[in-house]
């Protein structure tokens, strides 16, 4: 094997010395022009695959050895280029930035400008993360991880930036708690849910829709904006029951006072069954708001029985069907699921 400290010219000189040949002799043996051989030795011409085979035939080195030397020479030549070094520095900066935030996705959703310039990207991402800083959050996630990843952090930053831009009343904790508890009796269909943003704003809580970033696996989040809490949802799946439950779940975090705690609620939590204690508390309160009279699946589970369960708790039938699916009393492909309302992208964007 050729030492990688060697050069192509040095290895060809070894062939000449070993056989006591001149350059003209070797060129003739190889069937090349002498000028071509001279240019290869001077680094003015590259060795290709067929030439590496020819050189291997008259030396103790393999074709791979000769091509490895050529690759080394190519890299050394490229590294002498100021343009190449600048391009490599840009690549390194873009790579470092991609470790922090999903830059390509942010560009695709027009959150940051479309540019290859690393400095411009860094400025846009830094501003986004600064605008979107929140001291504490509580999130309804489906990835099973306690900490937010770079995609989820970027989504949260977008949500916080937009929430800060929304005009809301001064936060009234009592008013919001009463509203949240009453919400299941006020929202019975897709049309009703469209009013929730205005109701929350009147109680001092921004409610916004931020489209999910691919791979984010997050349904919603409640977070602090220092003086008041806020809620953001992704609308994943667009099912009425799932979106409404996510809103109730995040509202229960606020009512439970989780937003006031100056800690990151994604970390250092005592977990039970993969769900943090605070998440369990939020689920319990949201479920109580929905079903204060309890919800025991009857047998048989008929359409009439489901309608009666909804009437007993004065909630939308969609919510009962979704709950029964969640506790596996109904299969996910049940015919009843066809009755669940769906929110359109246009309806969700009204909350953007």
The CA distance from 54 to 170, in Å, is 82
Rounded to whole angstroms, the Cα distance separating 231 from 228 reads 10
When pLDDT is cut at 50, 70 and 90, the band that residue 168 belongs to is very high
Cα–Cα distance between 24 and 33 in angstroms, integer?
A: 8
- Confidence band of 270 (pLDDT split at 50, 70, 90): very low
**pLDDT given at position 147:** 73
Phi, psi of 208 (to 5 degrees): -130, 155
Stretch among 152-156, 170-174, 196-200 having the lowest mean pLDDT: 152-156
pLDDT score recorded for residue 340: 92
Of residues 100 and 277, more confidently modeled: 100
Q: What was the pLDDT predicted at 30?
A: 96
- Domains of the chain by residue range: 8-79, 86-128, 132-288+345-349
The arithmetic mean of pLDDT across residues 34-41, rounded, is 95
Q: What is the pLDDT of residue 1?
A: 56
Say which residues have a Cβ less than 8 Å from residue 41's Cβ, sequence separation at least 6. 8, 9, 12, 13, 23
Question: How many of the other CB atoms lie within 10 Å of CB of 193?
Answer: 22
**Lowest mean pLDDT: which of 41-50, 80-89, 98-107, 205-214?**
80-89
pLDDT (tens digit, 9 = 90+) per residue, 304-330? 999 998 999 999 999 999 999 988 889
> Domain 8-79 sits in which CATH superfamily?
lambda repressor-like DNA-binding domains (1.10.260.40)
- Cis before 300 (ω within 30): yes
Environment class of 196 (CB within 10 Å of its CB; exposed 0-12, middle 13-18, buried 19+): buried
Task: Please say if the pLDDT value at position 350 is more than 70.
Answer: yes
Cα(214)–Cα(151) distance, integer angstroms:
8
274 pLDDT more than 50: no
pLDDT of residue 48: 95
Interval 109-118: pLDDT, tens: 999 999 999 9
Mean residue pLDDT across the chain: 89
> Which of the residue ranges 91-105, 131-145, 287-301, 319-333 would you say has the lowest mean pLDDT?
131-145
State yes or no: pLDDT of 4 exceeds 70.
Answer: no
């Amino acid at each position: 094997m050729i030492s990688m400290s060697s050069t192509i010219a040095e290895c060809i000189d070894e062939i000449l010395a070993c056989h006591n040949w001149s350059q003209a002799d070797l060129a003739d043996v190889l069937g090349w022009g002498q000028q071509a051989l001279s240019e290869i030795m001077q680094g003015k011409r590259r060795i290709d695959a067929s030439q590496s085979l020819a050189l291997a035939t008259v030396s103790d080195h393999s074709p791979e050895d000769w091509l490895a030397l050529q690759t080394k020479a190519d890299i050394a030549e490229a590294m002498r280029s100021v343009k190449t070094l600048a391009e490599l520095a840009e690549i390194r900066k873009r790579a470092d930035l991609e470790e922090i935030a999903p830059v390509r996705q942010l560009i695709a959703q027009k959150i940051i400008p479309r540019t290859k310039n690393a400095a411009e990207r860094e400025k846009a991402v830094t501003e986004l993360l600064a605008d979107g800083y929140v001291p504490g959050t509580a999130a309804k996630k489906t990835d099973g991880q306690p900490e937010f990843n770079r995609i989820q952090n970027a989504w949260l930053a977008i949500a916080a930036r937009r929430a800060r831009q929304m005009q809301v009343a001064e936060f009234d904790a009592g008013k919001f708690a009463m509203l949240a508890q009453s919400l299941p009796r006020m929202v019975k269909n897709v049309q009703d849910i469209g009013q929730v943003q205005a109701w929350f704003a009147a109680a001092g809580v921004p409610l916004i829709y931020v489209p999910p970033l691919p791979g984010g696996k997050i349904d919603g989040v409640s977070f602090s904006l220092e003086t008041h809490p806020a809620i953001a949802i992704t609308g994943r799946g667009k099912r009425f029951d799932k979106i409404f439950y996510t809103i109730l779940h995040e509202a229960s975090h606020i009512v439970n006072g989780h937003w006031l705690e100056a800690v990151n609620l994604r970390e250092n939590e005592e977990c039970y069954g993969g769900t943090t204690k605070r998440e369990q508390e939020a689920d319990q309160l949201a479920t109580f708001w929905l079903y204060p009279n309890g919800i025991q699946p009857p047998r048989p589970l008929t359409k009439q029985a489901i309608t009666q369960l909804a009437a007993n708790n004065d909630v939308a039938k969609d919510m009962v069907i979704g709950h029964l699916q969640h506790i596996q009393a109904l299969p996910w492909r049940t015919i009843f699921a066809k009755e669940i309302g769906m929110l359109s992208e246009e309806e969700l964007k009204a909350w953007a």
